[in-house]
Amino acid sequence: MENQTNVSSPNAASRGGFGSKLGFILATTGSAVGLGNLWMFPYMIGQNGGGLFFLLFLVFTVLFGLPILIGEMNLGRSMQKDVIGAYRDINKKWTFVGVIAVLCPFVIMSYYSVVGGWILKYFFSYITFQDFSGDKSAIFQNFSSSAGEPIVWHLIFLALCVILSCIGIEKGIEKANLIMLPSLFVLIFILAIYCMTLPGAFDGAKFLFVPDFSKFKSGNDIFKILLAAMGQAFFSLSLGQGSIINYGSYLRRKNNIQKDCAMVAGFDIFVAIMAGLVILPACFAFHTPVTSGPGLIFETLPSIFSDIPAGGLIGAVFFLLVFFAAFSSAIALFEVISTMLVDRFKMKRIHAALLVGLALGISGIFNSLSMGNWHSVSIFGMNLFTFSEFVADKLLIPVGTFCLCLFIAYVWKTKNFFSHLQEGASAIYLKKAMSFIYKYAAPVVIFLVFIMGLVSQFQQ
Ligand code: PHE
């Protein structure tokens, strides 16, 4: 085992960092709050039967997600390295977990930037007064399945990531988040209140909050939902994907990690619930099927905006804020890969950003095409887009988080872990419970859910 402390590594000093405590919380919240909450959460709820999925999502977030978030942040801060370096410097044999944590953001970004492109397109449509009357689902399907336009928007989204990554972490991300996130919170809260007044809204809220067990005919359904809820909770908190370790590596020692993480998790849950309270009541009010999948927000939101006074303007502002949320998450994902190239291969930041941009540009094009012309190309019965989501959410994230827990408990050792966590904190909360979670509860539960979920997924 090599040096574990590395408090004032010259590397750390030359890497820049977050200017203020608040800036850091906002940036991490910016990484957590993204398409996972606003785009994915509502349609996952819809596809997985409503209330029970929501309940499981909450349980996974609080019981396992939060401790893992704290674990990743603490690992990043104590090592002050890129993700692979953080694992490797504690124990060389565990370098592979770092490699998974870099691979995962790559897979995620290959479809995330496609959806980011859809958001940009909708924002652009609203500011140019495009007509959204008529069948909103058909409008979305026509757009997303075409071979040209979505690819152009995906490339624009990605180009913006490359540019921000070149500007650097402190100036770019911190300043932008300071305005974007609070505005998003306020607007989505107001929209949720509005949507709750729509006719039929109550059924939407009931669907979100009340588990309906009669929907589950077999154990298979339950295991599939368990795996989906776990994937959603971890994805939404950005876990198992290196980004939190990476941000942690820029974190100052005076921050209280436990408190900061609890705030980030709280914001993340809040935005997910608000998104659910906007989209699901709207589905019931405007008769959009809740099961319609990745297009759900693009099919329901325009109905809401056509319904309200100054809807066009509100639509434009809303999509702009969703874009910001998606963008700050995308940057976090992007940074994992480019920081690794900078730290590991001593690449110039600009070269790393261009290289990552190029690779993601190409893989995103395949994913985008799989929504249309290439729809029939299938891997294990899924199109490429769904397959990429599957690989990230249901394979790499569970494996990454499972390994992280074992790593903390048995390789880094909880004693070292807690002594680092102590920095910046007057006390460590729930130390025993956290220890138990890293050592036993989380690895066992993640392992079981992962295996049973996969088996039931392929048993159909
Ligand atoms: N958590 C982000 C979201 O909800 C996605 C993300 C994952 C961002 C991993 C960064 C790292 O959209």
CA 211 to centroid of ligand 1, rounded, Å: 26
CA 152 to centroid of ligand 1, rounded, Å: 23
What pLDDT does 11 receive? 44
C-alpha dist (Å) from residue 400 to 46, 98, 99: 27, 8, 10
Nearest to 285, CA basis, from 191, 369, 402: 191
In short, whether 34's Cβ falls inside 6 Å of ligand 1 is yes
In short, whether 36's Cβ falls inside 6 Å of ligand 1 is yes
Rounded Cα distance between 337 and 351, Å, is 12
Note the pLDDT tens digit of each residue in 140-180.
Answer: 999 999 999 999 999 999 999 998 888 765 566 667 778 88
Percent of the chain with pLDDT over 70: 93
In short, whether 333's Cβ falls inside 6 Å of ligand 1 is yes
Q: How many residues does the chain have?
A: 460
Q: Model confidence at 443, in pLDDT bands (50, 70, 90)? A: very high
Mutate to test the pocket of ligand 1, among 31, 83, 267, 397 (most ligand atoms within 8 A of CB): 31
Whose tokens are 């639509």? That residue is 315
For the chain, the distance separating the N- and C-terminal CA atoms, rounded to the nearest angstrom, is 45
Backbone CA torsion sign across 168, 96, 13, 10: negative
CA 29 to centroid of ligand 1, rounded, Å: 10
In short, whether 241's Cβ falls inside 6 Å of ligand 1 is yes
Q: Which residue is closest in CA terms to ligand 1's atom 4?
A: 36
CA 164 to centroid of ligand 1, rounded, Å: 17
Ligand 1 atom nearest the C-alpha of 268 is 4
CA 39 to centroid of ligand 1, rounded, Å: 12
Note the pLDDT tens digit of each residue in 395-429.
Answer: 999 999 999 999 999 999 999 999 999 988 888 89
CA 197 to centroid of ligand 1, rounded, Å: 31
243 Cβ neighbours under 8 A, 6+ residues apart? 31, 105, 332, 333, 335, 336
Note the pLDDT tens digit of each residue in 74-96.
Answer: 999 998 887 888 889 999 999 99
Whose tokens are 């102590």? That residue is 422
In short, whether 398's Cβ falls inside 6 Å of ligand 1 is no
The mean per-residue pLDDT over the stretch 200-228 comes to 86
Do 297 and 38 meet the contact criterion of CB atoms below 8 Å apart? yes
392 Cβ neighbours under 8 A, 6+ residues apart? 104, 107, 108, 235, 241
Mutate to test the pocket of ligand 1, among 40, 102, 106, 236 (most ligand atoms within 8 A of CB): 236
- DSSP conformation letters of 380-419: TTEEHHHHHHHIIIIIIHHHHHHHHHHIIIIIIIHHHHHH
DSSP structural state of residue 170: I
Q: What distance separates the 2 farthest-apart alpha carbons in the chain?
A: 64
DSSP structural state of residue 294: G
In short, whether 325's Cβ falls inside 6 Å of ligand 1 is no
In short, whether 44's Cβ falls inside 6 Å of ligand 1 is no
CA 7 to centroid of ligand 1, rounded, Å: 28
What pLDDT does 10 receive? 37
Whose tokens are 């921050």? That residue is 255
CA 308 to centroid of ligand 1, rounded, Å: 31
In short, whether 401's Cβ falls inside 6 Å of ligand 1 is no
Whose tokens are 């985008």? That residue is 368
Strands 378-379 and 382-383: antiparallel
C-alpha dist (Å) from residue 2 to 13, 89, 115, 160, 410: 20, 6, 41, 38, 15
Q: Which residue is closest in CA terms to ligand 1's atom 7?
A: 238
| Mean of all residue pLDDT scores within the chain | 89
Note the pLDDT tens digit of each residue in 360-369.
Answer: 999 999 999 9
Mutate to test the pocket of ligand 1, among 29, 68, 243 (most ligand atoms within 8 A of CB): 243
Percent of the chain with pLDDT over 90: 63
CA 389 to centroid of ligand 1, rounded, Å: 12
Rounded Cα distance between 381 and 424, Å, is 49
DSSP structural state of residue 210: S
Rounded Cα distance between 390 and 453, Å, is 12
CA 391 to centroid of ligand 1, rounded, Å: 15
Give this prediction's pTM: 0.91
What pLDDT does 2 receive? 36
Ligand 1 atom nearest the C-alpha of 243 is 11
Task: Report residue 456: phi and psi, to 5°.
Answer: -70, -30
Report the alpha-carbon angle 153-158-160, nearest 5.
Answer: 100
CA 395 to centroid of ligand 1, rounded, Å: 16
Q: Is pLDDT of 7 > 50?
A: no
